[in-house]
Structure 1
Amino acid sequence: MSYPRPLTPEERLADAKKLLRLPRIVAICGSTRFMAEMTEAELRETEAGRIVVKPGCDLKSPHALWSDPAEAEALKPRLDELHRAKIRLADEVLVVGDYIGDSTRAEIAYARSLGKPVRFTHPEVDPEANPDVTRNRVAPE
């Protein structure tokens, strides 16, 4: 006698999104040097009827929450894990900016490992399509 395979957490999440009739969810990724462009992308995606999740903290901009270098250092891995959770929640990823650094490259690889579609505001920096072009675009993140 054969039993149905239990659903994976990802399948259960997809089913819940359908039951709730949620719009498509887009995770915005990219260097925080492109925060203004991320905000513009968020506006466009929202206007198109999509739910948007994006980085919520820019550690490169001064703020009391990370003014102490030790606090900032401790916060970075927590923010990275939070952003990976946003990628898991999303239906697709939108990479913003004309430069891909190591952190963004890892987020793209993570999204693709989960089978998430990845779009780019600048397709020429897609590391899968152009592995050599992205390495020397701008100074590292």
Structure 2
Amino acid sequence: MSSPQVITPEDRLAEAKAQLNLPRIVAICGSTRFMAEMAEAEVRETEAGKIVVKPGCDLKNPNPLWSDPVEAEALKVRLDALHQSKILLSDEVLVVGNYIGVSTRAEIAYARSLDRPVRFTHPEVDPDA
């Protein structure tokens, strides 16, 4: 007698996306120093018919929402968790830029742990190449 197959929340998400006939979802990752390049990548991926999710805040640029250093650090933690959720929703990841920092390296590892394909605008920076 075989064991019943366990259906994970991730499996249910994939099935729901298929039933809804959603376009592929791409999560753009990378250092926020490449926000302009991310915006350009968003245009290309959108033109290709994909839903794009990417970082929505650039903590390197001044803003009253993160002017206090303590609040900025707490916000960074929340934004990192939010971006992981975007990766979980995605079908693939596009890493933008020619530099991979600690956060981006963690995002790549997380995406790969979910078996998401990961593409790079600069393949030479792939930490697993």
TM-score tier, shorter chain, comes to: over 0.9
Gaps of 5+ in 1: 130-141
| Dislocated runs of 4+, deviation >3 Å | 1-4
Counterpart AA for 1:77: V
The equivalent of 1:31 in structure 2 is: 31
Instruction: After superposition, give the CA deviation of every residue in 1:76-126 in whole Å (9 maximum; x if it has no partner).
Output: 100000000000000000000011111111110111111110000000111
Give the percent of matched residue pairs that are identical in Structure 1 and Structure 2.
79
Does 2:13 align with 1:13? yes
RMSD of the TM alignment (CA)? 1.0
The alignment's TM-score, normalised by the length of structure 2, stands at: 0.96
Gaps of 5+ in 2: none
The alignment's TM-score, normalised by the length of structure 1, stands at: 0.88
Residue pairs, 1:1-141, within 5 angstroms: 2=2, 4-129=4-129
Quote the offset at 1:64 in angstroms: 1.1
Counterpart AA for 2:22: L
Secondary structure (helix, strand or coil) at the match of 1:115 reads: coil
Aligned mates of 1:101, 1:69 — CA distance in 2? 20
Higher relative contact order (CA 8 A, sep 6+): 2
Secondary structure (helix, strand or coil) at the match of 1:87 reads: helix
Secondary structure (helix, strand or coil) at the match of 1:119 reads: strand
Alignment coverage as a number of residue pairs: 129
